[in-house]
């Protein structure tokens, strides 16, 4: 491992492509290898032990086959279940995700909805964070496992996407001021959620914070690449080549979205 080794990024499927995109924007000269585990998605309905075992298997592959200098768990569910165990097992930096509760709290004053998988919402670390803010804000936890499948398999069906989002958000009777996207898959549904609320809610995610934390850790350890050219991006998926293509298409979707001026 050296400063010009790759950064490893993995997720339960396609959602972590949104984290990969933020990392590449922030550190364009870093080479990154992405592993999406769509063959075992979704993680959110598995046991904690299953998620830990799947995460270990991927980390072993990234370290042994790709010689990565750091690993980003681009999955809130896997972070909740496995980050402490992985940090104890491997001698390279392991960066996890954290739902953007704090930015949502400081950025809004009313009701906040946290959309995530069931495992993320049940984890002790997440609930301790939630408890510290609940007196000042009304926070609604919304398990949204079906939306992971929407991103994995139905991104070409606009009406299906809108109906799936409505099936969740229609159940909220209160006036919502903020949405926290507590699953990296949901970044790809951001515009649809924004449209559902007629562009009147603030939407928060933890992707930029994760990319920034990675950069800070690599800087501290003197592991930032000193290459002057743009780093390579390699994408793999445990399911099949069609999901590699889906991953690349989602990456291009984010690039076009940014070029069109979306935040």
- Residues 107, 200, single domain; the answer is yes
Residues 255 and 171 in one domain: no
Instruction: For the chain, list the strands marked E by DSSP.
Output: 7-11, 32-36, 70-73, 94-95, 111-116, 139-143, 176-181, 202-205, 233-237
- Please confirm whether the linkage preceding 230 is cis (ω < 30° from 0): no
43 is in an annotated binding site: yes
Same domain for 173 and 253?
no
Same domain, 187 and 240: no
Q: Is 44 annotated as a binding residue?
A: yes
Per-residue pLDDT tens, the chain, 263 aa: give them. Answer: 799 999 999 999 999 999 999 999 999 999 999 999 999 999 988 999 999 999 999 999 999 999 999 999 999 999 999 999 999 999 999 999 988 988 998 888 889 999 999 888 988 777 877 777 666 678 899 999 999 999 999 999 999 999 999 999 999 999 999 999 999 999 999 999 999 999 999 999 999 999 999 999 999 999 999 999 999 999 999 999 999 999 999 999 999 999 988 87
Tell me the backbone φ, ψ of residue 128, rounded to 5 degrees: -65, -40
26 and 89 assigned to the same domain: yes
User: Are residues 75 and 127 both part of a single domain?
Assistant: no
Residue ending a domain, choose from 171, 188, 205: 205
Please check if 219 is assigned to a binding site: no
> Do the domain assignments include residue 236?
yes
The single-letter DSSP state of residue 260 is T
Q: Which of 173, 189, 205 is the last residue of a domain?
A: 205
> Has residue 159 been placed in a domain?
yes
**What's the pLDDT at 135?**
62
User: What total of structural domains would you count in the chain?
Assistant: 2
Within-domain flag for 221: yes
Is 184 annotated in some ligand binding site?
yes
Q: Does 2 map to a domain?
A: no
Residue 76 annotated as binding site: yes
Q: Which domain, by its residues, includes 32?
A: 7-96+207-259
Q: Are residues 214 and 253 in the same domain?
A: yes
Same domain? For 92 and 213 the reply is: yes
pTM across the whole model: 0.95
Active site residues: 75, 183
Q: Please tell me whether residues 66 and 186 are part of one structural domain.
A: no
Q: Are residues 212 and 86 part of one domain?
A: yes
Q: Assign residue 122 the CATH number of its domain.
A: 3.40.50.1860
Let me know if residue 1 belongs to a domain: no
Q: Is residue 132 part of a domain?
A: yes
Among the residues of 8-117, which ranges form H helices?
A: 17-26, 48-66, 76-89, 101-107
In this structure, the answer to whether residues 230 and 155 fall within a common structural domain is no
Residues 237 and 118 in one domain: no
Phi, psi of 240 (to 5 degrees): -165, 180
């Amino acid at each position: 491992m050296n400063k010009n080794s790759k950064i490893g990024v993995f997720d339960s499927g396609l959602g972590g492509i949104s984290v990969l995109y933020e990392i590449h924007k922030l550190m364009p000269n870093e080479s990154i290898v992405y592993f999406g585990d769509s063959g075992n998605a979704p993680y959110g309905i598995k046991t904690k032990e299953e998620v830990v075992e799947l995460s270990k298997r991927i980390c072993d592959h990234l370290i042994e086959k790709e010689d990565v200098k750091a690993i980003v768990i681009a999955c809130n569910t896997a972070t909740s279940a496995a980050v402490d165990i992985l940090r104890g097992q491997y001698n390279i930096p392991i960066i996890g995700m954290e739902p953007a509760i704090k930015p949502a709290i400081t950025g809004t004053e009313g009701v906040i909805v946290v959309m995530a998988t069931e495992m993320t919402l049940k984890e002790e670390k997440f609930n301790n964070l939630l408890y510290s803010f609940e007196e000042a804000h009304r926070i609604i936890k919304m398990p949204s496992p079906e939306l992971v499948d929407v991103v994995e398999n139905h991104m070409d069906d606009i009406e299906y996407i809108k109906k799936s989002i409505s099936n969740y958000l229609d159940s909220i009777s209160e006036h919502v001021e903020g949405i926290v996207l507590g699953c990296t898959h949901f970044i790809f549904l951001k515009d649809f959620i924004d449209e559902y609320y007629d562009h009147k809610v603030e939407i928060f995610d933890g992707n930029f914070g994760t990319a920034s934390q990675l950069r800070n850790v690599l800087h501290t350890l003197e592991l930032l690449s000193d290459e002057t050219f743009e780093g390579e991006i390699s994408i793999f998926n445990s399911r099949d080549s069609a999901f590699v293509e889906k991953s690349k298409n989602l990456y291009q979707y984010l690039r076009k979205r940014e070029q069109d001026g979306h935040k």
